[in-house]
């Protein structure tokens, strides 16, 4: 019995010793963790001297940015910018047998149009952007005094003839009338025929045939063939359309329009933009009378009235 009691006592001593050792180990580990955490909290935050701080990146100039864009590292397509590509002011004149009669430019390319005479076919045509002339040249742009053509991959221009107002009537008479089949009715084949259709009712008051009005509205190219019609600008602002080189016997001559006159208003529509010119053509198709304000080359203002019969 004494041996058994001795053994059991020894086991208790060993068990207590083991527990005490484990407890001491746990306390030591916990104390180490607590010391590390306390030291980290008590240490001041690291500081970086001005000498060690990295300098800020230099500002990038527009030239450097454009250089990156020009390199086109990702091969981005630039075809979307093609409609707005710059076209040179000086282009070679086209050698196609064409003559520009007039233009109606607009902010939107789809609304612009031009009157062109085909000298081979002796026809007057109304063309817009993307139309083709003589199956060779494509209309690329319509401007105030020219149209730009793409002929065989090359840009060319068809510009208005430069005619001085004082020389307009003489130049028109020297050229003689050039009529195409498409516009003979509106162009009035002879002064006698024009006199029959236009009646002078009173001073600055005329009677015009509905047939002639409809012909002009449906075929504006014929209108441009009877006179040089250009926008009139004063201090950079459009104030109307000026007529020069009026052909003898033309509709303009018969309705009292004189060389150098500027039409500034029709039926209350002030012509201050190319879009207003298009509105005037639409007015021709519906109105039964026209009240036109004209400023002469001498600055005098006249009121002309036309009754559609």
Strand-pairing partners, residue 196, are none
| Measured distance CA(83)–CA(300) in Å, rounded | 43
Please name the residue ranges forming H helices in 104-209: 168-175, 184-187, 191-197
Residue 172: its pLDDT value, please?
40
Question: Residues near 161 by Cβ (< 8 Å), separated by ≥ 6?
Answer: 99, 100, 228
3-class SS at 124?
strand
Cα atoms in the Cβ-side hemisphere of radius 13 Å centred on 52: 4
- CA 105, 186, 290: angle at the middle one, nearest 5? 70
Reported as a pLDDT band with limits 50, 70 and 90, residue 2 is: low
Residue 298: its pLDDT value, please?
92
Residue with more model confidence, 6 or 201: 201
Question: Residues near 303 by Cβ (< 8 Å), separated by ≥ 6?
Answer: 204, 291, 292, 293, 294
Strands of 132-133's sheet in order across: 132-133, 137-142, 146-151, 154-159
pLDDT at 191 over 50: no
Residue with more model confidence, 228 or 167: 228
pLDDT at 77 over 80: no
Residue with more model confidence, 69 or 269: 269
Reported as a pLDDT band with limits 50, 70 and 90, residue 213 is: confident
pLDDT of 168-186, one tens digit each?
444 443 444 343 333 434 3
Residue with more model confidence, 262 or 76: 262
Reported as a pLDDT band with limits 50, 70 and 90, residue 157 is: very high
| Measured distance CA(138)–CA(55) in Å, rounded | 57
**Structure tokens that stand for 17 in this block:** 């010793």
Average pLDDT for the chain: 71
Residue 45: its pLDDT value, please?
57
Percentage of residues in the chain having pLDDT higher than 90 = 16
pLDDT at 71 over 70: no
Place of tokens 């100039």: 61
**Structure tokens that stand for 210 in this block:** 């509905």
pLDDT at 301 over 80: yes
CATH architecture, domain 165-308: Roll (2.30)
pTM of the entire predicted model: 0.53
Residue with more model confidence, 268 or 29: 268
pLDDT at 203 over 60: yes
Q: Where in the chain is the domain with CATH 2.30.30.830?
A: 89-159
Residue 95: its pLDDT value, please?
92
- Mean pLDDT throughout 126-138? 89
pLDDT at 151 over 60: yes
pLDDT at 121 over 80: yes
Asked if residues 117 and 87 have their Cβ atoms less than 8 Å apart, the reply is no
pLDDT at 106 over 90: no
Q: Where in the chain is the domain with CATH 2.30.42.10?
A: 165-308
Residue 302: its pLDDT value, please?
93
pLDDT at 240 over 70: yes
Residue 171: its pLDDT value, please?
43
Residue 43: its pLDDT value, please?
55
Q: What is the fold of 89-159?
A: SH3 type barrels. (2.30.30)
pLDDT at 303 over 70: yes
| Measured distance CA(78)–CA(70) in Å, rounded | 11
- Mean pLDDT throughout 54-80? 51
- Mean pLDDT throughout 1-7? 55
pLDDT at 293 over 50: yes
- Mean pLDDT throughout 265-279? 77
Asked if residues 247 and 212 have their Cβ atoms less than 8 Å apart, the reply is no
């Amino acid at each position: 019995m004494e041996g058994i009691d001795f053994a059991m006592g020894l086991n208790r001593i060993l068990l207590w010793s083991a527990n005490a050792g484990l407890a001491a180990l746990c306390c030591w580990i916990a104390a180490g963790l607590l010391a590390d955490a306390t030291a980290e909290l008590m240490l001041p935050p690291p500081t970086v001297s001005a000498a060690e701080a990295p300098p800020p990146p230099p500002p990038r100039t527009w030239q450097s940015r454009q250089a990156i864009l020009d390199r086109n590292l990702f091969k981005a397509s630039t075809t979307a910018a093609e409609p707005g590509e710059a076209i040179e002011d000086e282009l070679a004149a086209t050698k196609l047998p064409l003559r520009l009669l007039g233009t109606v430019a607009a902010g939107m390319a789809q609304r612009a149009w031009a009157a062109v005479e085909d000298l081979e076919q002796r026809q007057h045509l109304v063309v817009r952007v993307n139309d083709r002339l003589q199956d060779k040249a494509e209309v690329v742009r319509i401007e105030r005094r020219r149209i730009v053509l793409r002929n065989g991959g090359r840009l060319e221009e068809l510009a208005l003839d430069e005619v001085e107002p004082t020389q307009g009537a003489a130049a028109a008479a020297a050229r003689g009338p050039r009529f195409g089949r498409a516009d003979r009715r509106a162009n009035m084949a002879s002064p006698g025929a024009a006199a029959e259709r236009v009646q002078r009712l009173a001073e600055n008051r005329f009677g015009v045939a509905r047939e002639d009005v409809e012909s002009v509205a449906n075929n504006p190219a014929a209108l441009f063939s009877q006179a040089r019609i250009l926008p009139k600008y004063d201090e950079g602002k459009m104030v109307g359309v000026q007529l020069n080189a009026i052909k003898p016997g033309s509709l303009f001559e018969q309705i009292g329009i004189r060389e150098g006159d500027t039409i500034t208003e029709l039926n209350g529509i002030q012509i201050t933009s190319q879009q207003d010119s298009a509105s005037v053509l639409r007015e021709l198709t519906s109105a039964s009378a026209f009240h036109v304000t004209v400023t002469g080359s001498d600055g005098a203002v006249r009121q002309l009235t036309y009754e559609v019969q």
